[in-house]
Amino acid sequence: MSDDKKKNSVKSEKTKAKKSSITSSKSAKSKKNSKTKSAENAKESSEVFILPAIVDITTVSSLHRDLSKVVNAKKKKIILDSAVVEKITTPAVQVILALFKTLEENKVQYSVENMSENFKQCLEDIGFGKKIEEWVK
């Protein structure tokens, strides 16, 4: 092989190696970005709604309005956080039950998390104690 052919062959090999390195670097970045996007999508696909401390007839209209916004956000999962609930009455439970029915119809997952003792007791007092087990998923 002549010296010119050897030089061209060496240059060709170096170019191939460089392109391969760039491709694998792009592939690694792409995989990292897709993992990051998946994590972001998972966060974006669920929403936590924090129930107020007092959920009764005086707050049921605003609760309904706020929960309607949550439903319209088209999330894959809705989580009601009831950690701060001190009091919940029948009208508010009716709004929450209607929310759950709508979510089921739209095949949206839901759960109630961080149930305060007052929340549980209020639900039991108005006859919804057995529903608690269904809501905790």
Rounded distance between C-alpha atoms, residue 31 and residue 35, angstroms: 6
To 10 degrees, what angle do helices 60-72 and 90-105 make? Answer: 10
pTM above 0.85, yes or no: no
**Chain segment 66-123, per-residue pLDDT in tens:** 999 988 888 999 999 999 999 999 999 999 999 999 999 999 999 999 999 999 998 8
Q: Strand 87-88 to strand 54-55: parallel, antiparallel, or no bridges (unpaired)?
A: parallel
CB atoms within 10 A of CB 20: 10
**Chain segment 38-71, per-residue pLDDT in tens:** 444 544 688 999 999 999 999 999 999 999 998 8
Top-tier CATH class for 45-135: alpha beta
8 backbone dihedrals φ, ψ, rounded to 5°: -65, -40
Query: What residue segments make up the domains of the chain, in order of their start?
Result: 1-40, 45-135
